[in-house]
Structure 1
Amino acid sequence: MRAVIQRVTHASCTVEGAITGKIEQGFVVLLGVEESDIKDDMTWLAQKIVNLRIFSDEQGLMNKSIQDVAGNILLISQFTLFAQTKKGNRPSFIRAGKPDIAKPMYLEMGQLLSDLLGKEVQMGVFGGDMKIDLLNDGPVTIIMNTKDKDNF
């Protein structure tokens, strides 16, 4: 599983002209699922996301988690995080999880994050043509890969 976590002032997801998710201060999490991902990967990543201390404290240091600031999460499925560009100029997405595997994991990740955060996580639409509007805060962007846990 791969995730790009962006600290935002606000964000929203629109599909076919309808807003599917909207947040104020918090994270936009772009989530890519790989065929080999398992529940342990999801649990590890969800714990990391809700405990990341990347919000400023009273001294201006990144010392607070999303829970500490009562922040929100907008979770977006993003199979393109598994793009391979080694050959040619057209990316291959062969490592991205097929919808029958990736969609249930995406939905389960949304529920897991909601449970850990203690509030509903806003969602995009799996496989939808999503338009994401956001205001990066910082910008602060963290990239995580569950296949490389030792470096995160």
Structure 2
Amino acid sequence: MRAVLQRVTQARCVVNGKITGQIDTGFLVLLGIEDADTNEDLDWLAQKIIGMRVFSDENDLMNKALADVGGSILLISQFTLFAATKKGNRPGFTRAAKPAVAIPLYEEMINKLSVLLGKKVETGIFGADMKISLLNDGPVTILIDTKNKE
């Protein structure tokens, strides 16, 4: 699994002109799932997202996590995080999990993050043409890959 965390002061997902998810302070999380991903990857990544200390403390140092600032999460599935770009100029997506594998893991990630955060996680719609808007705070953008845990 790969996740791109963006610290935001606001983020929104719109599908067919309707808002499907919207947050103020927190993380916009773009989540890519590949066939090799397991529940162990999911658990590790969820803990990492919730525990990531990138919000400013009283000394303007990045020491606070989501819970410390009352933050929220907008979780968006994004298979393009597994784009293969080595050859040519047209990316390939063979490493990205097919919906039969990805949807259950995506739904489990929503549930896991909701439990860990103690509130509802906002989302897009899996496989839809989504329009994402955000105000990146910092900017702070962090890439996490479960295959690089060490």
TM-score, normalised relative to structure 1: 0.98
1:97-132 deviation per Cα after TM superposition (whole angstroms, max 9, x unaligned): 000000111111011000000000000100000000
Structure 2 counterpart SS, 1:142 = strand
1:2-39 deviation per Cα after TM superposition (whole angstroms, max 9, x unaligned): 00000000000000011000000000000000001000
Q: Distance in 2 between matches of 1:67 and 1:41?
A: 22
- What is the letter of the counterpart of residue 17 of structure 1? G
Q: Which residue of 2 aligns with 1:141?
A: 141
Q: Distance in 2 between matches of 1:41 and 1:141?
A: 20
Q: Distance in 2 between matches of 1:92 and 1:116?
A: 34
Q: Which runs of 5+ in 1 are unaligned?
A: none
Q: Which residue of 1 aligns with 2:72?
A: 72
- What is the letter of the counterpart of residue 50 of structure 1? I
Report 1:2-151 matches (<5 A): 2-150=2-150
- What is the letter of the counterpart of residue 111 of structure 1? N
Structure 1 counterpart SS, 2:88 = coil
- What is the letter of the counterpart of residue 85 of structure 1? T
Give 1:83 deviation, angstroms: 0.2
Give 1:61 deviation, angstroms: 0.2
Structure 2 counterpart SS, 1:14 = strand
Q: Which runs of 5+ in 2 are unaligned?
A: none
TM-score, normalised relative to structure 2: 0.99
Q: Distance in 1 between matches of 2:129 and 2:107?
A: 17
Q: Distance in 1 between matches of 2:43 and 2:16?
A: 32
Structure 1 counterpart SS, 2:94 = coil
Structure 2 counterpart SS, 1:148 = coil
Give 1:87 deviation, angstroms: 1.0
Structure 1 counterpart SS, 2:148 = helix
Q: Distance in 1 between matches of 2:145 and 2:37?
A: 11
Figure out how many residues of one structure are paired with residues of the other and give that number. Answer: 150
Q: Would you identify which runs of 4 or more consecutive aligned residues in structure 1 move more than 6 Å? A: none
RMSD, matched Cα:
0.4
